[in-house]
């Protein structure tokens, strides 16, 4: 493999890993925001729930192919933590900070374009910021690189 092919492959792998991570984060983030908003919870409780669910869904989606590969649950859990913790954490910091700084976004309500637009924009921004983080980690054999062999 040439240096250029390796470089392109690293970026493709990082993008794929980030999209995978984004899926779990988005499910948890949206579900947490919807639950918190529907119940009229304050910003802090809603954000905490969103973050907890993002990690739960992110790790769960990572563990699926590991468990399908025949790895025991007790072994799969630390692999998922090693694979996704940094990626999910970066995404959660970015997307929650973004939604919190948009005036009125957290209080807009589920029927509001401001609520959904700011949430969607926060996830896009989190993806853009997290891709280079994942590429850096994968290049060092960390992050998603530790789980990649189970995806085949």
SS3 17: helix
Place of tokens 């769960």: 60
Tell me, what's the pLDDT at 107?
A: 82
Nearest C-alpha neighbor of 51 from the set 93, 101, 18, 104:
93
Distance (Å, whole) CA 122 – CA 100:
10
Query: What residue ranges of the chain have pLDDT lower than 70?
Result: 1-9, 148-152
Tell me, what's the pLDDT at 35?
A: 94
Q: What radius of gyration, in Å, describes the C-alpha atoms of the chain?
A: 16
């Amino acid at each position: 493999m040439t240096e250029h092919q390796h470089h392109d492959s690293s970026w493709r792998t990082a993008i794929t890993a980030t999209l995978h991570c984004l899926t779990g984060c988005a499910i948890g983030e949206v579900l947490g925001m919807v639950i918190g908003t529907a119940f009229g919870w304050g910003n802090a409780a809603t954000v905490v729930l969103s973050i907890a669910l993002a990690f739960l869904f992110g790790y769960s989606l990572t563990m699926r192919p590991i468990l399908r590969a025949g790895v025991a649950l007790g072994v799969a859990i630390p692999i998922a933590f090693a694979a996704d913790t940094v990626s999910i954490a970066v995404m959660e910091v970015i997307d929650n900070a973004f939604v919190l700084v948009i005036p009125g976004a957290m209080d807009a309500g589920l029927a509001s374009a401001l609520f959904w637009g700011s949430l969607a924009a926060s996830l896009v921004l989190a993806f853009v910021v997290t891709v280079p983080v994942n590429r850096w980690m994968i290049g060092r054999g960390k992050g998603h690189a530790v789980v990649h062999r189970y995806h085949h």
